[in-house]
Amino acid sequence: MEKKCRVAVVVLGDIGRSPRMQYHALSLARQAQFQVDIVANGGSEPHMAVLMNKSIHIHEMASVQLLGLSKISSFLALLIKAVIQFFILVWFLCFKIPRPDAFLVQNPPSIPTLAAVKLSSWLGRCGFLIDWHNFGYTLLRMSHGRSHIIVKIYHWFEKFFGGKADGSLCVTKAMQHELAHSWGVKASVLYDQPPEFFHPASMREKHELFGRLDSSICNPDGIHDCLCTAKRNHNGGARNPSDTLFSTQNGDDISLKLNRPALIVSSTSWTSDEDFSLLLEAAVMYDRRVAAALKEDDSIEDEELWLDMNNGRQYLYPRLLFIITGKGPERKKYEEQIKKLKLRRVAFRTMWLAAEDYPLLLGSADLGVSLHTSSSGLDLPMKVVDMFGCGLPVCAVSFSCIEELVKVNKNGLLFSSSSEFADQLMMLFKGFPNTCDALEALHDGALFTGSSSRWSIEWETHALPLINEVVSKKSR
């Protein structure tokens, strides 16, 4: 029998938090029928489809932590960490996995990944492909400034080794242009597209998901807000156990409650390239503007108002529940800020979902939010792509190339300030859930965007020919 081609997918990071590289692995295994080795750090579980595929083999590297040295010298810690990671990568790529026909590496991070993969490809006489998600030096520039020596070294390193690849993919036309004109790198654009498991959720899927999340939403630790009375009825007793905050079940019949909160989802890495304060400020503005629009008496106790909301009373503007998913360094800081907010109609929940539940949450929500601004201005937020796959319209922070993805008044809206975002929330959710024509139109546009193109189609058109070309050249 003819030997199957083999590709190693390389991620110097948590593979569970690298969805695009997971999709590459699935497409290589399913569509190209290659054997695939994923070499990455552990952490979060990848999608079940990756774990269950017999042609995909995951090789987990140990993460390098130098916390003690970082307190003495951050530069020295970064240098030593990069050296250690270099040798770990080369060891895995040259000795721990079967020799591949090509490496497909995620960039960033660039140091030491690109050098380690280049050396391994030279030693093994196999192909070297880069999938450019962003530029590493622009991410470093956010914390160190443009003129810092570390940023300049990183820029040189990324440009030098990036030019050594046998083929490149990138995420936008703007990035393709930058790579070609400033770096001399020819790259094929492979837009992020939602895979098949991102789709609108059925009523039963919504009800079951809301049931699994009910405790996290209605009984969060240390938080008291407009959702925390949701388990009681107007007599103070427990509500029907088959009901959730959003849905009710009578026999086999499941329906959404008319007085449910509007569900807004944002996925974030909790880093400095996403200004979460925009979202918090907009939430406060929405809360105050609704109270003013309804001419609400400040003397009404919060508990009294919340019980009315939970027991069926509808208002012109609904409660908003923001569910923020993700892990990252600034999460705790913002969680403390959220606890200090005194809001009547807005609640926040932060959580990390299983890979199988995240698409269901998007498919059950009413609106998505993207705070991604891009360190380079040349990449697009993949979370928005996933939202469109689930038919979820998006409000996104405006930056240079975001309109390659978000089409204003078709599948989403763009905002540049918290006040503008608050205006959009007021406009979209007025009359929720029955008379939201603008929101419904955006929902239809998002559904069309998500269904018009899928990852498997785009990958077979733009990525597979390049991978096949690199593999065939190296096998001669």
In a domain, 243, yes or no: yes
164, 127: one domain: yes
In a domain, 369, yes or no: yes
Please, what is the average pLDDT of the chain? 88
Instruction: Give one word for 50, left, alpha or beta, with left for phi > 0 and alpha for psi -120 to 50.
Output: alpha
Residues ≥6 apart with Cβ < 8 Å to 52: none
In a domain, 198, yes or no: no
Report the CATH number that the domain containing residue 308 is assigned in CATH: 3.40.50.2000
94, 173: one domain: yes
441, 465: one domain: no
pLDDT 10s digits, 344-358 = 889 999 888 888 899
pLDDT at 332: 84
238, 369: one domain: yes
146, 208: one domain: no
425, 382: one domain: yes
pLDDT: is 269 or 8 the higher one?
A: 8
427, 464: one domain: no
pLDDT: is 124 or 298 the higher one?
A: 124
Q: Which of 78-82, 153-157, 289-293 has the lowest mean pLDDT?
A: 78-82
pLDDT band at 1, cuts 50/70/90?
very low
Question: Does residue 234 register a pLDDT over 50?
Answer: no
pLDDT at 432: 93
Question: Does residue 475 register a pLDDT over 70?
Answer: no
234, 116: one domain: no
Q: Which of 71-85, 212-226, 235-249 has the lowest mean pLDDT?
A: 235-249
Question: Does residue 276 register a pLDDT over 60?
Answer: yes
Question: Which residue, 19, 55, 20, is CA-closest to 35?
Answer: 55
Beta bridge partners of 57: 37
In a domain, 286, yes or no: yes
177, 272: one domain: no
Expressed as residue numbers, the domain containing 123 is 6-193+455-474
Q: d(Cα 50, Cα 70) in Å, to the nearest integer?
A: 35
187, 225: one domain: no
pLDDT band at 401, cuts 50/70/90?
confident
177, 282: one domain: no
309, 263: one domain: yes
DSSP three-state, residue 352: coil
Please provide the DSSP assignment of 389-426 as one string.
Answer: HTT--EEEE--TTGGGT--BTTTEEEESSHHHHHHHHH
In a domain, 1, yes or no: no
Residues ≥6 apart with Cβ < 8 Å to 96: 39, 59
In a domain, 35, yes or no: yes
In a domain, 375, yes or no: yes
In a domain, 380, yes or no: yes
Into how many domains does the chain fold? 2
